[in-house]
Amino acid sequence: MSETRIDRRFRALKQEGRAAFVTFVMAGDPNQETAFRIMQGLPEAGADIIEVGMPFTDPMADGPAIQQAGLRALASGTTLKSTLSMIREFRKDNDDTPVVLMGYYNPIYSYGVDRFLEDARDAGVDGLIVVDLPSEEDEELCLPAMKAGLNFIRLTTPTTDDKRLEAVLKNTSGFIYYVSIAGTTGAAAPKASDVAQSLQRIKNATDLPVAVGFGIRSGAQAAEIAEIADGAVVGSALIDRIAAAENDDEAVRSVMELASEISAGIRSTVKH
């Protein structure tokens, strides 16, 4: 594979000596216009990589916050096609920030794998996280995605043993997403001391950057993770700000405030 925006961003951050701030937002939440404004504003608020959720009716790995975000997005008429259109629009003013599509295989399968990969690449997508496609199914999407020049990013968990880890890492590129808590998204915050041991085991098996997600809700928590990981992923906390907002302007403002706080926490840590 040729180098992607994700590869370039992690290399630049390594030279800076800090971890990446990876944000997750749902396409079309709370509506398509506001979701686009939020995506547009995230890089200035400090996001290094943006994960964009593909709304799906049966998000089995997600907790209540992201499930509700998906329902709001579907109610606003969001489709995979409109999600790709949002990213294409984003790319008109931002050609640097890596964008990762995250979700489930069903919408991609329905769209058509070959057509999806071509449209995703043309829209400016850099990588995919598809949570319900195990490594045994690599020929379905992983290998075609890599051939199309998209990173295929895998999740590992505290219960991933050494044998399974080897299979997970086999065709992974871009970075590894370490799910630090057993359970659905938005669970309790991870303890840095517990995460550090697992991260070392993963790093012994791969040279890829490792980003840690699930449960990070503040700048202080993000700083703790940034001390030991190559990236901190924040999703449910941002989604909660959207859900609590009384109007669209407040949703944008509130998400940017929290993103800026978390970004400052991550940037306060310097690796030597």
Which residues are tagged catalytic?
A: 51, 62
| Helix, strand, or coil (residue 27) | coil
Closest CA to 198 of 168, 230, 235, 156: 156
- With H, G, I as helix, E, B as strand and everything else as coil, classify residue 58: coil
CA separation for the pair 8, 4 (Å, rounded): 6
* Long-range contacts formed by 240-249: CB under 8 A, 24+ apart: 240/65, 242/25, 242/29, 242/30, 242/34, 242/38, 242/69, 243/30, 243/65, 243/68, 243/69, 243/72, 245/30, 248/30, 248/31, 248/33, 248/34, 248/37
The rounded Cα 22 to chain-centroid distance in angstroms is 6
Reference 51, options 116, 113, 128, 107; nearest CA is: 128
Three-class secondary structure of residue 247 per DSSP? coil
